[in-house]
Structure 1
Amino acid sequence: MVSYAGYDVVEAQSGTRIGKTRISKKGNSRIRRVLHMPCLVVIQCGVKKYKDLFDRTYEKHGIKMKSYVAVQKKLLVMIYHLWKKKEEYNADYEKNIQEKEQVISSLSAFEKSKKVVPTN
């Protein structure tokens, strides 16, 4: 899906010359155009996952449009995943997974402490 939308990364290099990496833009330009406003909204509203990605990439290279493109790509991947799995968006998804992992690890620790010693 990333390649279909034109968000795949292309390196410009030939021989010993190493150029800049860019998105290919060979895909569907309408998808890229449609993802622009949702990208701005999630950053402006401060959705943590996307705002952190934007800030991290902006600090790295100092170009806002590259950071917006990174957020657009992440939104596209998330939308495609939700559509394919027929799920609804859950903002606390990662938090819920961490809680489940903590419960499982505590249960396994509890089971290890309850080792049954065989009696003869």
Structure 2
Amino acid sequence: MSTVDNQTLIDAWRRLLTGSGKSWVLFAHGTCVVLEQPTGDVAEQAVGILGEFGPMHVATAAGDFRVLELNQGEGWLVTSHHPDVITFVPRDDPEDPSHLAVGLLGRSRRDLDGTELSVVHVEVTPAS
């Protein structure tokens, strides 16, 4: 499994979330925790969510995912059993672009992010 450089991931998430009014925290393998109502330390809040909902467990809801192809053709979003935990998979990353292969790749990256919990970027949107 290849890794995507941090700046590519940051740029992609900025494009995806521009204008959403939401704060977000990006982890090393492309998983993003989107926070509608952040409280206190945003990174700490995201680490708590991803630590609980990121690791994959077979035959549980943690193994579920859905693949959403982005209209801009830049890749896919792989959702999880938590509505605020999403993994970005760039278009040129998977060898097999089928939804199943992309979903499995995104899920494995979420699992890595949920166990390593390595924050690479925090974007805080001011409260309105």
Which category describes the TM-score, using the shorter chain as reference length? under 0.3
Q: Which has the higher helix share?
A: 1
Question: What TM-score, normalized by structure 2, do the two folds share?
Answer: 0.26
**TM-score (norm. length: structure 1):** 0.27
- Structure number with higher strand proportion: 2
Q: Which has the larger radius of gyration?
A: 1
